[in-house]
């Protein structure tokens, strides 16, 4: 099976690397690297039997519907394996370039990224896992890609509509109220003479955010998170 070979990209022990290379497809998801999960499960987590993904999916059912919700399980699985483990995506994911992208041994797909798409997706994952931008603020808040982008894995030129952001941060009036400055109430980034603007004019997800108002109003004092500092 093409997808289950070449499991590792990072520094793992020779023994587990060899185990991973020779692991039969059925075990490829977790067993080559985790004999059991006791040492890696979060504190106070219910006890888990077995040592493959089925041990998790009985309670943590993969979400193929792309809900605008927190997902602590998916967040931790990805940040742990990207930041510390540097584990290849295809250790857990099945991927047929241009056809489907799912989970090994699980039915369902999040879209059909090509090889070029996957390069960009990987880069974006790294940014989400450790950048100083808004994507990482969301990773820390347990929001995965699907939380913003919905059920299809995002590709080049994907964006996010205001309505999606407002599902978690809205309604607009509430947001505007929260950010009304005490001293100059009309210098509100969310209620101004610009009218309705795309959130992404100021809030970039995978690049430095910046306050658009300041392009014209050099003297206003306004700050934004995820600006890259
Ligand atoms: C190619 C090797 C490899 C595979 C395959 C693998 N893991 Fe891991 N896993 C690691 C490494 C490396 C770490 C980081 C170890 C550490 O934190 O001590 C890790 C950490 C974890 C953690 C700790 C998360 C945290 O928040 O710190 C969990 C839970 C976990 N793995 C579950 C899984 C599950 C479930 C699977 C199968 C779906 C899996 N792993 C597949 C190598 C792997
Ligand atoms: C018996 C049910 C059950 C099984 C099986 C199970 N979990 Fe969980 N897990 C939970 C519950 C309940 C929570 C807390 C609520 C939530 O976040 O979904 C949780 C939360 C988590 C979290 C998030 C913790 C946090 O808030 O940061 C991680 C990571 C996790 N589980 C990993 C795993 C892994 C890895 C497996 C498989 C090896 C697994 N779980 C199997 C019930 C289970
Ligand atoms: C250790 C196993 C593991 C590794 C390694 C892993 N994933 Fe996942 N991934 C999962 C699991 C489990 C889910 C399902 C989580 C859910 O739906 O709750 C998932 C879900 C996803 C999703 C759909 C949800 C979302 O966030 O949009 C995407 C996209 C995704 N992974 C991409 C990747 C990419 C790209 C890589 C490599 C950079 C990667 N994954 C590495 C286990 C893994
Ligand atoms: C906070 C919401 C949010 C999260 C979480 C998020 N994105 Fe995005 N993403 C956006 C927005 C908004 C854009 C539009 C470009 C911009 O403004 O930065 C975008 C654009 C993209 C693009 C197109 C970039 C380009 O160069 O054309 C890709 C690919 C992408 N996201 C992948 C991902 C992946 C993979 C994840 C998960 C690791 C993710 N995104 C998580 C909001 C998000
Ligand atoms: C699925 C829910 C969800 C979606 C969709 C979402 N966010 Fe968030 N957002 C969060 C969570 C959770 C946090 C981190 C916790 C917090 O600080 O509120 C966060 C944090 C933020 C922050 C920093 C908050 C602060 O207090 O400084 C900004 C700014 C932000 N989001 C803007 C956006 C924008 C713009 C979009 C659309 C491109 C978006 N979010 C989409 C849930 C979401
Ligand atoms: C003209 C630039 C601009 C646009 C457009 C914009 N924002 Fe903001 N946003 C800001 C600035 C500046 C702040 C910081 C305000 C503060 O700290 O008081 C901010 C803060 C936030 C926060 C954190 C709020 C808090 O309570 O601290 C959220 C969430 C947010 N924006 C979401 C959105 C969403 C969703 C949209 C689109 C509907 C949007 N923003 C459009 C500039 C903008
Ligand atoms: C494309 C340029 C431009 C952008 C971007 C822009 N403005 Fe303005 N703004 C103007 C002009 C022109 C005036 C009217 C002339 C003046 O009084 O400076 C004005 C006037 C104002 C005034 C009343 C006069 C003052 O200086 O107090 C406020 C308040 C204001 N803008 C807030 C904002 C806010 C908040 C944003 C971002 C959400 C924003 N503007 C973005 C051009 C801009």
Domain boundaries, the chain: 2-149, 183-229
Neighbouring CB atoms inside 10 A of 228's CB total 12
203 Cα–ligand 6 center, Å: 7
Give the distance (Å) from ligand 4 centre to CA of residue 86.
21
Cα distance between residue 38 and residue 119, in whole Å: 33
pTM (two decimals): 0.94
161-167 mean pLDDT:
98
Give φ, ψ of 153 to 5 degrees: -60, 130
pLDDT score recorded for residue 34: 87
Residues with CB under 6 A from ligand 3: 60, 62-63, 71, 73-74, 77-78, 81-82, 87, 89, 91-93, 103, 110, 121-122, 125, 144-146, 153
Is pLDDT above 70 for 51?
yes
* 97 Cα: distance to centroid of ligand 5 (angstroms): 31
Which residues are CB-contacts of 229 (< 8 A; sequence separation ≥ 6)?
A: 132
Q: If you measure from the C-alpha of residue 78 to the centroid of ligand 2, how many angstroms do you get, rounded to a whole number?
A: 14
Best CA proximity match to 89, nearest among 101, 71, 75, 105: 101
Say what the pLDDT of residue 36 is.
84
Q: What is the pLDDT of residues 86-102, one digit of tens each?
A: 788 998 999 999 999 99
């Amino acid at each position: 099976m093409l997808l289950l070979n070449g499991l590792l990209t990072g520094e793992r022990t020779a023994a587990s690397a060899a185990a991973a290379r020779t692991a039969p497809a059925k075990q490829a998801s977790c067993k080559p690297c985790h004999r059991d999960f006791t040492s890696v499960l979060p504190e106070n987590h219910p006890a888990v039997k077995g040592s493959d993904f089925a041990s998790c999916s009985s309670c943590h059912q993969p979400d193929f519907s792309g809900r605008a919700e927190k997902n602590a399980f998916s967040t931790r699985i990805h940040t742990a394996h990207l930041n510390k483990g540097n584990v290849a995506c295809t250790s857990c994911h099945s991927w047929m370039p241009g056809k489907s992208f799912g989970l090994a041994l699980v039915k369902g797909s999040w879209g059909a990224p090509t090889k070029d798409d996957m390069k960009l997706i990987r880069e974006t994952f790294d940014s989400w896992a450790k950048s100083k931008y808004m994507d990482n603020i969301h990773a820390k808040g347990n929001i995965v890609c699907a939380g913003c982008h919905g059920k299809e894995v995002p590709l080049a030129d994907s964006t996010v509509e205001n309505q999606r952001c407002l599902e978690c941060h809205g309604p607009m009036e509430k947001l505007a109220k929260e950010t009304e400055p005490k001293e100059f109430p009309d210098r509100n980034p969310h209620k101004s003479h610009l009218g309705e603007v795309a959130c992404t004019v100021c809030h970039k997800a995978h690049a430095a955010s910046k306050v658009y108002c300041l392009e014209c109003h050099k003297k206003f004092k306004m700050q934004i998170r995820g600006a890259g500092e």
